[in-house]
Structure 1
């Protein structure tokens, strides 16, 4: 299906294919809605005003350009979460931001972990599409016996809490896989805003 960009009632510009290459002022499209370059620059400016500003790369370097690309990844995942949550009629829920732990980032990917931690609607969406279920007895026992250095207590003392934690971690992995699939269907990146690891751009961080 081809045709010009159109608008929904309310005036938000939409594009039937998620954006034509090189669209002026647009970094990406999510479900036909634009993620603007201005929004990316606003997020970057907020980071450069923040407590870790001195650790950020200079904007004119490859690392600085890839930081901008990473922010596009964050913004598109946020937009995909909001889109899917709206379709399901989900509210924000618990609004308290949470810290991102290294284990969370390794389990789900840094962008997804950050979005889950920062946005209560992402946690509500996770609980809807991948509800946490306590791990089965065999899995819980096996984990306990592999990690006796961390669990010196009797198994009965930690069993319920451990099963709940393993189930919650599995929920986040399932949610990350689901969200990756939804983003693949919904997100279209404009040239210059490719994933930092995409080998098709000159600043690609993964080379062989």
Structure 2
């Protein structure tokens, strides 16, 4: 690894310039004023940005390995905003990687499409989440979905099935993406100062992803 590389993926270095470009494009989340706190925040921000860039590189290679259409080149200055709900659901590293990387989005879409959703899984979800399928009229009347509700108070399963299947496939695809990323980045080597923010081998690690 050279002094100009932030990490090495499959024997090839990732330039620190890619990390710096992302840092310039994404404003800091922290607003520290004390010098020592600001320095720590910036160290963690660089480690965080390295993970986003590594995820993009790994996703590009995964797309090539799977014969997926090559995604367009990412431009750090054109990163879409990341919704707070996505950060809550995915963590800021994965959410930003998906916003930043066309390859990551392509891979996630492929993983989602590959997930089977058995009919019994969709039916089980429908029966366990009856409150989500009250009709508009039942909602207006304040019907309790778990006590005293009639069949007519619920959207029929046949109408809800496609939406349930899509939701379950999306959730399974995200889990598959997390599993893929955890395995793919296990062999990545990082330069000092570019380790994972949660890596316990450095003294100021944290688990805010």
Give the structure-2-normalised TM-score: 0.71
CA–CA separation in structure 1 for the residues paired with 2:23 and 2:168: 35
Map 1:114-153 onto structure 2 (within 5 A): 114-129=96-111, 131-133=113-115, 135-152=117-134, 153=155
What CA distance in whole angstroms lies between the structure 2 residues aligned with 1:181 and 1:107?
Answer: 20
Which deviates more from structure 2 when the two are superposed, residues 69-78 or residues 38-47?
A: 38-47
SS of the residue corresponding to residue 131 of structure 2 reads coil
Structure having the larger proportion of residues in helix = 2
Distance 1:47 1:98, change over 3 A: closer
Cα RMSD, aligned residues only: 3.0
- 1:109-139 CA distances to partner (integer Å, 9 max, x unpaired)? 4423332344332233234456344522222
Q: By how many angstroms is 1:76 displaced?
A: 0.6
1:30, distance to aligned residue in structure 2 (A)? 1.5
Match of 2:151 in 1: none
Q: Greater Rg, structure 1 or structure 2?
A: 2
Q: Is the contact between residue 27 and residue 193 of structure 1 (CA under 8 Å) also seen in structure 2?
A: yes
Ranges in structure 2 where 5+ consecutive residues have no aligned partner: 135-154
Could you tell me whether the CA contact under 8 Å between 1:31 and 1:80 is conserved in 2?
A: no
Taking the aligned partners of 1:155 and 1:149, their CA distance within structure 2 comes to 13
Matched, 1:41 2:20: yes
Q: 2: CA distance between counterparts of 1:84 and 1:190?
A: 23
Q: Does the C-alpha gap of structure 1 residues 109 and 56 become closer, same or farther in structure 2, counting only changes over 3 Å?
A: closer
What is the match of residue 171 of structure 2?
169
Query: Any conservation in 2 of the 1:134–1:163 contact (CA below 8 Å)?
Result: no
Cα–Cα, structure 1 residues 92 and 120, in superposed 2: closer, same or farther, change >3 Å?
Answer: farther
- Count of aligned pairs between the two proteins: 179
Answer yes or no: is 1:74 the counterpart of 2:52: yes
Decide which moves more: 173-182 or 87-96.
Answer: 87-96
Matches within 5 A, 1:11-30: 19=1, 23-30=2-9
Mark the runs of 5 or more structure 1 residues left unpaired by the alignment: 1-18
